[in-house]
Structure 1
Amino acid sequence: MTTSSPSARSVTIVLLLIAFAVSLPLIVLSFYNHPSPTDDYCFANTSMRYGFWESQQIYYDGWSGRFFHNFLVHGSPLTFGWYDGYKIYPVVLLGLLALSFYAFASQWLYRSFTFSTKLALACGLFVGFVTTLVSLSEYLYWYAGMACYSLSSVLLLFLLSVLIAHQRRGFGWQPGYLLLESLLIICIIGSSETSMVMAMSVLGMIALGDLVLRRRLSIPTLILLAVGVLSCYYLISAPGNAVRMGSNPNSRDIPLTLLSSLKFAVGYIARQIFLTPLLPLSLLYFPIASQLTANRPLPTYLRIHPLLALLHGLLTVLALISLHFYAVGIAPAYRLVNLINLVFWLSWGYNLTIWVAILQDRIQPVTWQRFSRLIVVVSLGWIVLATGFGPVLPMAYGDWLSGRAARYNQAMQERYNQMTQSTDDTALVTPLPVYPASMFMEDVKEDPKHLWNRCWADYYHKKTIVLKEEPISSTH
C-alpha cells in the first residue's frame, strides 16, 4: 500500500468520518456547559474584587506560580457575567486541537505527501487522543482545567510544528521563528508544572541532537533553552508554590515517588498499548513512516540513536507520572493523565519512525503490499471498536441522547434565576437532578463552609449557600 493508493484514500475517508463522529457529541454537549463550582467562581471572585492584575500577583505569591494559567483564569467569562462563554470556549478548544494536529501532521510530512495523507495522520492522532481521554470533563468543559492543562497540549503541538518548520530551514538565526517559539514555550511552561516538563523535554531533545550530531549547541538552541530555564525559574520560585507544597504532608517523599511512579508506569503503558487504538493506528502509519524515511539525508531529529530516543520518551513519561506522586503523594489526577497520553502517543510515533528509518533496507514493500487491504480493513475495524467501546464516546453520546445534559442545563438555569432573584442572604439549593459525567465536575457541598460554597455565595453576594439534603432522582 502506498500513501496515494485507493486503500490510503479509503483510510483517510474512514478516519475523517470517525473524527466527525467523535466531535459531534462533544460540540453538542458544549451548548449545555456551565461554569463549575470547582475553582471557576473562586478565580472570578478574586479578579472582580482585587482587579485583573493584582489577582495574578495574589495567586503567584499565595498559591501557584502558574503565571499563564493565572492570566487566563482571572479573565474568565464569569468575571464579565458571560455564561454563554462557557458554551463557546469548548468548541473553540476542540477546533484548535484539531487544527494543531493538522499543523503538526503537515509539518511532519511536509511536501513529500498529499493533503489526503496529512489529513489522515491528523485525524488518526485526533481520534486516538480524544477517545482515550480519561477525564473528558476536565479536558474540555472545565475552564480552570482548560487554562491549566488542555490549552498547553494544543500549544505543544503548535510548538512542535514551528520547530519542525524551523529545522527544515536549517534552524538558524531566524527572528520570526525564534520569537514564536519563545512565546509558545513561555505560555506552555506558565500553564503548569506538567506542561513545564513537556516543554523542557522537547528542548532537551533538541539540545541532545545538537550535541550528538553537531558536537555543539547552536545559538537558536541556546536562546530557546535560556527562555525555557527563565520560565521554569519564574514558575518554580513563586512564593505560592512553597505554600501549596507545604500544605500536603505527603509531598517531597522521593522513595515513595520513585517506587509508585514505576509501578504506575508499567500498568499505564500496558493499557495504552492494548486498550486503545494505538496499535491499529500504528499499522496504518507504518507505510507513511516508510515513505517518510526513504528520502535521504534524514532531518536531524530523525538521526538520533534509537536507544537515546526511546530513553528520552520513557524518562519523559516517567517524569510526568512522578510529578503528582512527588507533590501530593498519590497517583496522577485524571487531568494530568490526559497530557501524559498525548506525550506518550507522540513519543511512540517518533520512536516508531526512527526504527522504520533504521530498518528501511530490511523492509520488504512487496510483502507488505500483498496484505495491505487486509491490514487496512482489520486496522480500521479495530479502531472503530476501540473508539466505540472506549471511555469517551459511550459517555458523551449517552449524556446527549438520553437528555441528561439538557436536564442539567435546565436545572442550572433555574439555579441562576434563584440566585439572582432571591433577596435572602442564605440560598437553599436542591441537588441537581442529573450529573452528566461527560461534562460535570463537582457540585456545591452540603457543608456551607466549603470553599466551593463560599465562592459561589460571594459571586452572587450571598452570605451562605446550603445544599438541601434531598434524594437525587437520577444519576449518571
Structure 2
Amino acid sequence: MKHPLIDRLATVIVIFLFLLAYLPLVWLSFHNHPSAADDYCFADTALKYGFWQAQKFYYDGWTGRYFSNMLVHGSPLVWGWYDGYRFIPALMATALVGAIYAAVSELLRTESLINRVKATALIFFLVVLSLQSTVEAFFWTAAMATYTVPTILTIYLMAVLIRYNRLSDGPKKWLTIVWTSFLVFAIVGSGETNLVVLILLLLAITGYRLVFRRKFDPLMAWLVVVSLVSAWLLFRAPGNAIRMGSNEAKAGELFPSIARSFIWLGRSIAFWLLKTPILPFTLLYIPFARRATRQGSPVRDLFMIPAGLLTVVYLGLLAAMIFPSYYGLGIAPYARTMNILFVFFAIGWFYVVTVWVGWIDRRGRSLTVLQKWPAPVWLLTGIWLIGSIITSNAVNQLYADWLSGRAATYDREMTERHQQLLTSADTVRLRPISVYPPSLFVEDVKPDRTHWWNRCQSGYYGHKALVLDSTLTANR
C-alpha cells in the first residue's frame, strides 16, 4: 500500500541528495584550470608536431591508449581555448548522470519516469559519496580521458545493447551495430581497466547465451571480435613495454596479482557496505526488484539468470578491474581506479540483487521487509545516510573547497598566472598559488626549471624557461 505523503517526502529527499552531490561539481567546474601534470605536455606536443604525430609519439613511447590519447591531444588548450577547462567537469558529471539514466531506464523501463529518475539520482549520489579522488574523477583531464570517459561509455553501451534487442530489422538496427562497434573500439582504446572489464563482460554475455540459452548472438560475437582487435592495437604499442618496464620489479606476476586483486576487492566491498548507505537503499529497492522480476514483466527476461553464477561473474569482473594495477604496475590501484570500480560495483550490486530477489520469489519466499517494518527501515536508512554524508571525504572536500573560498582564490590566482604567461619573456618566474584546493588541484610546476611540467608549460606559452619562485610570495 502506497502512502502519497511518504512518496512525496521520499522524492524531495532524493532530489536533495542528488543536488548535494551534483551542484558542487558544477559550481567548482567553473573554477577549474588545466593542470601542470600532463595537460600542457599533451597540448605542447600536439601543437609542435601535429595531432597525428603526437599520437604516434605516445603510442611508441609510453602507452597504447589510442582513444584517450586522441582526446587529450585535442583538448581545449590545443585550440587556444583556455577557459574550456571550466566546462569539462560539469559535462563529465552530466554525462555520467545521463549514462546511468540510460541504463536504469532500460533495466527498469516498466517503472514510472519519476522512479527511474530517482534511481538514477541515488546511484549518482552514491558514486560521488564514495569518490576517493574527486579531482581525478571530474577535474583532471588526463585521468578523465582514461577512466571517467570509458566508464560513461561502458554504462551507455550496456543500455544500447539492451535496447538493440527491441529494435525491428532495418536501417536503425544496422546503424546501432555500427554505433556499438565504435563504442567498444573507444572504450578499449581508453584504458586497461575498462578494457579488461568490457572484454570479460562481452565474453560472459556471449558465453551465457550460447551455453544456457542455446542461442548464438551474432552482434555479441562481432563485438567480442571488435574488442579483441582493439585490445591488440592497444597492447602491441611499443610504449606499453616501456611503461611496464618502469615497475618491472613487481609487475608481470600473474597469480600473485590475481590473489592481491581479490583481497583488495574484499576489503573494498566491506568498506563500501559500511561507509555508504547501499545496504538500507537495497531494502528500499526490493519492491522495485520484485516488480521487475514478476511474471508478465517485460523486463523479466533480463533478470532470468542463475543467481549464483551471476554473483561469481560479478565478483570476477570487479576483481578484473583491479588486476591491471597489480599486474601492469605492481602496485595497488590508484584512487582513480577505485572511483570507477565503485561505479560498476553499485550498478552491478542492484542488478545482482534484482536477480536474487526474482530467484527467491520464484521459490515462494516473500521479501516484504519494508511492508512489515516500514518505520525501522526508514529510520535505519536515515541514520545510515546522515552518517555516510558526514564521514564522506569527497562530499566534505567539495563543500570545503567551495564554501571556504579556496576554489575561488585558486581560480583567481591561476587566471592571473595565465595572463602573466601570455606576456613575452625568455624566462618567467611564477609565484606559487596560495591555496591548492584538493578537489581541483593535482600538480603544479616546480622550482626546477628543467622539470618535465615546467618544460611543457613554458613550451606551450613560447618561453625558454619557467620557474616557480617561492620568494615572490612576499610581494603579494
Separation in 2 of the partners of 1:63 and 1:367? 53
Q: Which residue does the alignment assign to 2:418?
A: 416
Separation in 1 of the partners of 2:105 and 2:313? 24
Separation in 2 of the partners of 1:240 and 1:324? 17
The answer to whether the Cα contact below 8 Å between 1:198 and 1:343 also exists between their aligned partners in 2 is: no
Per-residue displacement from partner, 1:412-461 (whole Å, max 9, x unpaired)? 122122222252x2222222100101111111123322211111111122
Secondary structure of residue in 2 paired with 1:428: strand
Separation in 1 of the partners of 2:272 and 2:71? 32
Equivalent residue letter for 1:277: P
Per-residue displacement from partner, 1:241-263 (whole Å, max 9, x unpaired)? 12222232232123542343233
The answer to whether the Cα contact below 8 Å between 2:201 and 2:317 also exists between their aligned partners in 1 is: no
The answer to whether the Cα contact below 8 Å between 1:281 and 1:383 also exists between their aligned partners in 2 is: no
Decide which moves more: 210-219 or 275-284: 210-219
Q: Which residue does the alignment assign to 2:374?
A: 372
Q: Which residue does the alignment assign to 1:270?
A: 270
Q: Measure how far apart 1:192 and its partner are.
A: 0.4
Q: Measure how far apart 1:470 and its partner are.
A: 5.0
Aligned positions of 1:258-407 closer than 5 A = 258-296=258-296, 299-361=300-362, 362-364=364-366, 368-407=370-409
The answer to whether the Cα contact below 8 Å between 2:283 and 2:370 also exists between their aligned partners in 1 is: no
| TM-aligned CA distance change 1:350 to 1:216, over 3 Å | same
Per-residue displacement from partner, 1:56-84 (whole Å, max 9, x unpaired)? 12222222111110111111001122111
Tell me the TM-score normalised to structure 1 length. 0.93
| TM-aligned CA distance change 1:258 to 1:370, over 3 Å | closer
Q: Which residue does the alignment assign to 2:75?
A: 76
Per-residue displacement from partner, 1:202-224 (whole Å, max 9, x unpaired)? 31231132123222432122111
Secondary structure of residue in 2 paired with 1:435: coil
Equivalent residue letter for 1:306: A
Decide which moves more: 460-469 or 286-295: 460-469
The answer to whether the Cα contact below 8 Å between 1:56 and 1:67 also exists between their aligned partners in 2 is: yes
Tell me the percent identity. 36
| TM-aligned CA distance change 1:368 to 1:171, over 3 Å | farther
Per-residue displacement from partner, 1:321-340 (whole Å, max 9, x unpaired)? 12111111111111111111
The answer to whether the Cα contact below 8 Å between 2:193 and 2:322 also exists between their aligned partners in 1 is: no
The answer to whether the Cα contact below 8 Å between 1:171 and 1:220 also exists between their aligned partners in 2 is: no
Secondary structure of residue in 1 paired with 2:442: coil
| TM-aligned CA distance change 1:170 to 1:248, over 3 Å | farther
Separation in 2 of the partners of 1:293 and 1:8? 22
Separation in 2 of the partners of 1:141 and 1:78? 15
Aligned positions of 1:49-448 closer than 5 A = 49-110=48-109, 112-168=110-166, 174-249=173-248, 250-296=250-296, 299-361=300-362, 362-364=364-366, 368-423=370-425, 425-448=426-449
Q: Measure how far apart 1:373 and its partner are.
A: 4.4
Secondary structure of residue in 2 paired with 1:427: strand
Tell me the TM-score normalised to structure 2 length. 0.93
The answer to whether the Cα contact below 8 Å between 1:7 and 1:373 also exists between their aligned partners in 2 is: no
| TM-aligned CA distance change 1:400 to 1:366, over 3 Å | closer
Decide which moves more: 378-387 or 449-458: 378-387
Q: Measure how far apart 1:148 and its partner are.
A: 1.2
Q: Measure how far apart 1:5 and its partner are.
A: 5.5
| TM-aligned CA distance change 1:80 to 1:20, over 3 Å | same
Secondary structure of residue in 1 paired with 2:194: helix
| TM-aligned CA distance change 1:196 to 1:366, over 3 Å | closer
The answer to whether the Cα contact below 8 Å between 1:306 and 1:355 also exists between their aligned partners in 2 is: yes
Separation in 2 of the partners of 1:38 and 1:113? 45
Secondary structure of residue in 1 paired with 2:466: strand
Separation in 1 of the partners of 2:152 and 2:51? 25
Q: Measure how far apart 1:9 and its partner are.
A: 4.2
Secondary structure of residue in 1 paired with 2:190: coil
Per-residue displacement from partner, 1:81-105 (whole Å, max 9, x unpaired)? 2111000111111111111111111
Secondary structure of residue in 2 paired with 1:465: strand
Separation in 2 of the partners of 1:161 and 1:206? 14
Separation in 2 of the partners of 1:8 and 1:26? 28
Equivalent residue letter for 1:132: S
Separation in 2 of the partners of 1:472 and 1:357? 64
Gaps of 5+ in 1: none
Equivalent residue letter for 2:431: T
Per-residue displacement from partner, 1:171-213 (whole Å, max 9, x unpaired)? 9993133222212111111110111123213312311321232
Secondary structure of residue in 2 paired with 1:77: coil
Separation in 2 of the partners of 1:367 and 1:42? 55
Decide which moves more: 392-401 or 301-310: 301-310
Per-residue displacement from partner, 1:6-63 (whole Å, max 9, x unpaired)? 5344323311111012111111111111000110000001110111122112222222
Separation in 1 of the partners of 2:169 and 2:377? 38
Gaps of 5+ in 2: none
Secondary structure of residue in 1 paired with 2:155: helix
Q: Measure how far apart 1:158 and its partner are.
A: 0.9
| TM-aligned CA distance change 1:346 to 1:28, over 3 Å | same
The answer to whether the Cα contact below 8 Å between 1:277 and 1:387 also exists between their aligned partners in 2 is: no
| TM-aligned CA distance change 1:167 to 1:11, over 3 Å | farther
Equivalent residue letter for 1:137: V
The answer to whether the Cα contact below 8 Å between 2:150 and 2:190 also exists between their aligned partners in 1 is: yes
Secondary structure of residue in 2 paired with 1:105: helix
Separation in 2 of the partners of 1:455 and 1:194? 27
Separation in 2 of the partners of 1:155 and 1:134? 21
Q: Measure how far apart 1:366 and its partner are.
A: 5.8
| TM-aligned CA distance change 1:307 to 1:397, over 3 Å | same
Separation in 1 of the partners of 2:166 and 2:384? 35
Separation in 2 of the partners of 1:161 and 1:446? 49
Q: Measure how far apart 1:125 and its partner are.
A: 0.7
Separation in 2 of the partners of 1:367 and 1:71? 50
Equivalent residue letter for 2:185: I
